[in-house]
């Protein structure tokens, strides 16, 4: 789905496909410099991180494993509840593994902070985070994120895996919605 297929639902395009891909390639190079000599396990959080995982992973100049976890924290609204529940756990035993969480966006940080604590308790050799987007002004907890694509303003964005009420995940760009969509 392209921006022009959004009619007047899209207010602004924040990042084009090219900007997203260029930044993911840079992140992949950075990550590979740190992980080329390790057996890295990429851990995606469904469903938002699907596009980031697919493109980031293919931008890596070497092989990596992936696994997925599904949690609920948002419902269909736009505000984090802070309540996290595991809907689907990992298939992989991460004890002694080098785990890199692949995220679409860090907003309040509440979800990721909970996931990080949960994963740490399983004894990985290392645990780091790569996220395409981060909203520094929205942070409610301190999270040490090693690789960040773009810091953005505290606005709700959709596209490239990010939804509003399960819609717009297949939009190629990342953008903001017009006010009438929310009402």
Comparison of 60 and 110: residue with beta carbon closer to ligand 5GP: 110
Contacts of 35 (CB under 8 A, 6+ apart): 64, 98, 100
Spatial CA neighbour of 48 closest among 168, 175, 135, 182: 168
Dihedral sign, Cα of residue 7, residue 13, residue 15, residue 16? positive
Q: Give the one residue of 53, 157, 174, 177 binding ligand 5GP; rule: CB under 6 A.
A: 157
Q: Give the one residue of 60, 94, 108, 119 binding ligand 5GP; rule: CB under 6 A.
A: 108
| Residue 156 DSSP one-character state | -
Q: Examine residue 131 and tell whether it contacts ligand 5GP (CB under 6 A).
A: no
Q: Examine residue 106 and tell whether it contacts ligand 5GP (CB under 6 A).
A: yes
- The CA dihedral of 30, 64, 50, 13, to the nearest 10 degrees, is 20
Q: Which stretch binds ligand 5GP (CB under 6 A): 11-19, 72-80, 90-98, 115-123?
A: 72-80
Q: Give the one residue of 27, 105, 119, 174 binding ligand 5GP; rule: CB under 6 A.
A: 105
Binding interface with ligand 5GP (CB under 6 A): 48, 73-74, 80, 104-112, 156-158, 162-164
């Amino acid at each position: 789905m392209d921006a022009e297929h959004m009619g007047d639902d899209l207010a602004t395009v924040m990042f084009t496909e090219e900007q997203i891909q260029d930044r993911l390639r840079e992140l992949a190079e950075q990550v590979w410099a740190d992980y080329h000599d390790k057996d890295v396990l990429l851990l995606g959080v469904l469903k938002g991180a699907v596009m980031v995982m697919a493109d980031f992973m293919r931008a890596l100049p070497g092989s990596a494993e992936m696994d997925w976890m599904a949690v609920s924290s948002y419902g269909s609204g736009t505000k984090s509840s802070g309540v996290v529940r595991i809907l689907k756990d990992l298939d992989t035993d991460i004890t002694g593994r080098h785990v890199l969480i692949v995220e679409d966006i860090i907003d309040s940080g509440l979800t990721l902070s909970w996931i990080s604590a949960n994963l740490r308790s399983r004894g990985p050799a290392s645990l780091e985070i790569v996220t395409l987007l981060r909203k520094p002004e929205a942070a409610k907890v301190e999270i040490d994120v090693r690789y960040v694509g773009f810091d953005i303003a505290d606005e709700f964005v959709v596209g490239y895996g990010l939804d509003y009420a399960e819609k717009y995940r297949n939009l190629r760009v990342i953008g903001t919605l017009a006010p009438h969509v929310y009402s």
